[in-house]
Structure 1
Amino acid sequence: MGLFVLGRATFDVDYARACAARAVEVLRMQDCRLAGTGAILFDNAEVTAALDDIAEEKLDGIVVVQSTFTDAEAVCMIAERTGLPLYIWALPEPRTGGRLRLNAFCGLNLAAHALGLRNVPCISLYAAPDAPAIETEIAGWLAAEPAAPPRTRVAEPVPSEAGARGLDALRGARIGRIGAHPAGFDTCAYEPARLSRLCDAHVEPVALEDLFAAAREVPDSAVGALLEECSAVSGIGELDPDQLLRSLRLKGALDALKERGRFDGFALRCWPETFTEYGGAICGPVGMMGEKRTPCACEADVYGALTSLMLQALSDAPAFLADIVDIDDATDTGVVWHCGQAPASMADPAAPLEATIHSNRRMPLLFQFPLKPGRVTLARISQARGAQSMVVAGGEMIAAPPSFSGTSGVVRFDTAAKTVRQRLLAAGLEHHLALVYGDHRDALEHVAHGLGLPVLDLTQ
């Protein structure tokens, strides 16, 4: 078996190395020979060199250890170069309430989606290398066949006024796409003609520099008003004032672009350029826009923006576009998370709403809080495996301390968490799911029927 350990230097490298070393140690206990050093490969050049090193080896499969989050470029390179079965092991991390140190499940999610689009089978594992009976679990994983994608069903014509609002929000929607999605984020790609056929939505490209230029033109009086709006948020006065004001200018810029382009929502490239070229985080402004019913999808995710627009219309409440970053069998729960951009109305009133900095890029403004308890519905207009569908899931957000820094919530799904994880990965779903409070299954059924989309239910 070929061995590749993937990681990114923007995460906790020391912790990733320790976890990956233990994983490789356990792998080497198996009855198979591993070709590869086990060192973390941090970029595509290192992956290419590692592929060259094993080019002459006689291999029957490839093991990929997902030590941190990565985009899907590397795993697709490995699949294309080798043409061998892929076994991908993502490493969990404890819910400490601090920085998301690895975010490896999200990397596995991106890989499963990209490989699904290419009809490349993969067999996934999500387990700690020091878990009880891990050797037995790994042996079963390496002997397993790829899981079949879960079946979709035909949407029923359920009458729903809320669903009609959701359909109306989609039809003819105008989305401003600010910048392009990052490389290796096939989850955020879209085809204009296909989208037009689906719901006659229009996507207008906006250059990132246009966003930054608009931010620099925001009047000081408007920035002051935005600062006043945030004045009651705990910790706002402790942030770097220059970076904070630059971040708030991005909120003013989004308002100006919305008015100029008559946009209903945005799909925006949120990193790295907002940090590296502009000098402020857009996460907090995104949360403020979402609270005012202008959804902004990170990583230029057009379908994520449309899903959020649909959900806010049918629920008459803000939506939160989130990653699932952990699904734990022991507690039978999952964690939805993003850096710090959930709408403030979703905050748990029993916990403080705090202003903070980005955990990797160390700049403000982000909002930090756990999500409030209550019934939730998750959804996605998906393009997994090249076919459009309506993905739905139900659950209960439970009262829990923050799992990680930023905005996060702990969900007890309507079916076993392990089942949700298996279905999500086998379907090759995108890594963004939109979330609203309440039970909106009937409304989503109505929308799916109106758009001619099959339904994939993760929790029924």
Structure 2
Amino acid sequence: MEKLRIAVIPLVRSTFDVNEGTRVFKEQINILQNIDTNTDWIFPTSTIEYVENLKSFYRTIQKEPVDGIILLSATFHLGDLALHISRDFPTVPIMCWAVPEPPYNGGRVRLNSLVGAHLDFSNLYRAGRNDLIFAYGYANDPDFSKKLLNWLMALRAIKTLKNCKIGLLGGRARSFVNVDVYEPELYKELGVLVEPILLEELFNFSVDKEELENEIQKYTNLYKLVASLDKEKLEKVARLKIMLEKLYKISKVHALAIRCWPEFANYYGISPCAAMSSNMAEGRIMACEGDVLGALTMVIFKAIGCEEFYLADISQIFETGHLLLWHCGVAAHNLWDQRSERHLDTYFAGGKGVTAGFVLKPGTVTLARLDYIRNHWILFVYETEAIQTDQELKGTYVKVAAKNPVKFVESLIEKGFAHHIVMAYGSYSSTLKTLAQLKGWGVYDSNC
């Protein structure tokens, strides 16, 4: 997880109770340092009233870039402070923080913090800043700390994506125009680079006998092997798993988007599904069918602390209020429900499929996809439950709940989203929505 540097700048005006504002500032800093220990909190020794006071603190935060700035409205203050900070740090996301008013002293408003933060946010927003967030409360208030942690996680995702490289192995799948990506726009928006990789580069890796035998044994221990999976196919699966792992490491990518058909089955002899599944279980992100933005969505989940996710199709609608999330065998084997049988099968691609097969575990899940549709970035996000599912199919799959599954699918399709979504275990919708707010993305949160 990325370590952050966050600058906290306490702003005041001497016509208000600066002593109380300074006390609040110091108290809140102590709490912040305990809320997120994976963040370096950078702050001045005293509150700041004038633009001139900012200059010495600038030297501190310009030595090493900061990932976010919190403007703490310790008392009401003039709006030029925030405007100068915004001008000097035009790409650093800003939180405008207001604290509650303390008891009145002689009939006077002592801090007027809320108005100061409101002024800052309004000024910055009208001046064109989109990467803003407003927060109210003390640092140890549950609602405030939740909002703060969501903001910090969103900043971690932004920082990860600025240095992100996704390998596009073999290109996208044939006719899948909807998972194509315009690379200059992706780099402009997020700093993400896409590196094309020829399939021949993968197939040219050598694998020594000992590591191959070890990998074969792992598959044998994990899965029941169907009769059609002969020794040659099993060896190809194990070899491909190792080759993909080597390519991932040598290319220094955050994820691989793989054109998994038809070339693998036609020229290598098997499809890569089971080999991708094993790599996913070991923390290497791999997306089917050359889906770069599907891979990127999984990178985002990992950046915000999720380790369990799965790229899937919405394959079926049930009258019981459920959807089937299915793909032909790429889910990480550590997502297994521990009830179904885990098997390797060859049921598609003319017997060259070699896919993992099992049911995924139940639990709270977040469905999401970042997509680029008609020149706009849009994030789909929906929290629901994966339910215990009987094993009736080949491949990897699970059912998830939806209040109105037909309307859910209709609306998702009619918004133009690609046919792959990511299912991640855990509750991440608030963090994803915060990320979208900071980036100015549209958000589609189905209430179906």
| TM-score (normalised: structure 1) | 0.63
Q: State the shift of 1:155 in Å.
A: 9.7
Q: CA RMSD in A?
A: 2.0
Runs of 5+ consecutive residues of structure 2 not aligned to the other structure: 1-129, 134-146
Task: Find out whether 1:423 has 2:411 as its counterpart.
Answer: yes
Task: Find out whether 1:236 has 2:229 as its counterpart.
Answer: no
Instruction: Tell me what 1:104 maps to.
Output: none
Structure 2 matches for 1:290-329, cutoff 5 A?
A: 290-328=280-318
The one of the two structures with greater contact order (alpha-carbon pairs below 8 A, sep at least 6) is 1
Task: Find out whether 1:177 has 2:168 as its counterpart.
Answer: yes
Going from structure 1 to structure 2, the CA distance change for 1:289 and 1:169 (only over 3 Å counts) comes to: farther
Instruction: Tell me what 2:358 maps to.
Output: 369
Task: Find out whether 1:384 has 2:373 as its counterpart.
Answer: yes
In 1, Cα distance between the equivalents of 2:261 and 2:221? 27
1:336 match: secondary structure: strand
Deviations 1:3-35 (CA, angstroms, capped at 9, x unpaired): xxxxxxxxxxxxxxxxxxxxxxxxxxxxxxxxx
Deviations 1:26-56 (CA, angstroms, capped at 9, x unpaired): xxxxxxxxxxxxxxxxxxxxxxxxxxxxxxx
Structure 2 matches for 1:206-221, cutoff 5 A?
A: 206-214=197-205, 217-221=206-210
In 2, Cα distance between the equivalents of 1:234 and 1:288? 11
Instruction: Tell me what 1:3 maps to.
Output: none
Going from structure 1 to structure 2, the CA distance change for 1:408 and 1:458 (only over 3 Å counts) comes to: same
Going from structure 1 to structure 2, the CA distance change for 1:401 and 1:440 (only over 3 Å counts) comes to: same
Instruction: Tell me what 1:113 maps to.
Output: none
In 2, Cα distance between the equivalents of 1:267 and 1:427? 23
Instruction: Tell me what 1:347 maps to.
Output: 336
Give 2:213's match in structure 1, choosing from 224, 237, 260: 224
Structure 2 matches for 1:24-423, cutoff 5 A?
A: 157=133, 158-159=147-148, 160=150, 161-214=152-205, 217-236=206-225, 238=227, 239-328=229-318, 330-363=319-352, 365-413=354-402, 415-423=403-411
2:181 match: secondary structure: coil
Give 2:436's match in structure 1, choosing from 426, 433, 448: 448
In 1, Cα distance between the equivalents of 2:353 and 2:437? 42
Q: State the shift of 1:364 in Å.
A: 5.1
Would you say the 8 A contact 2:131–2:439 is kept in 1? Answer: no
Residue identity over aligned pairs, in percent, reads 27
AA aligned opposite 1:384? I
AA aligned opposite 1:199? L
Which of structures 1 and 2 has the bigger CA Rg? 2
In 1, Cα distance between the equivalents of 2:390 and 2:413? 27
In 2, Cα distance between the equivalents of 1:260 and 1:364? 27
Instruction: Tell me what 1:49 maps to.
Output: none
Q: State the shift of 1:237 in Å.
A: 7.3
Q: State the shift of 1:402 in Å.
A: 2.9
Going from structure 1 to structure 2, the CA distance change for 1:439 and 1:403 (only over 3 Å counts) comes to: farther
AA aligned opposite 2:444? L
Q: State the shift of 1:166 in Å.
A: 2.9
Q: State the shift of 1:315 in Å.
A: 3.6
Q: Deviation above 6 Å: which 4+ runs of structure 1?
A: none
Deviations 1:151-182 (CA, angstroms, capped at 9, x unpaired): xxx99845314333333332221111111112
Deviations 1:171-211 (CA, angstroms, capped at 9, x unpaired): 22111111111232112101111000121011111001111
Q: State the shift of 1:236 in Å.
A: 3.0
Q: State the shift of 1:231 in Å.
A: 2.3
AA aligned opposite 2:325? V
Aligned pairs, number? 303
In 2, Cα distance between the equivalents of 1:327 and 1:156? 39
Instruction: Tell me what 2:43 maps to.
Output: none
| TM-score (normalised: structure 2) | 0.64
Deviations 1:206-263 (CA, angstroms, capped at 9, x unpaired): 001111222xx12122211211222222323742111121122111111111221111
AA aligned opposite 2:292? V
Deviations 1:101-154 (CA, angstroms, capped at 9, x unpaired): xxxxxxxxxxxxxxxxxxxxxxxxxxxxxxxxxxxxxxxxxxxxxxxxxxxxx9
In 1, Cα distance between the equivalents of 2:132 and 2:220? 47
Deviations 1:255-279 (CA, angstroms, capped at 9, x unpaired): 1112211111101100011000110
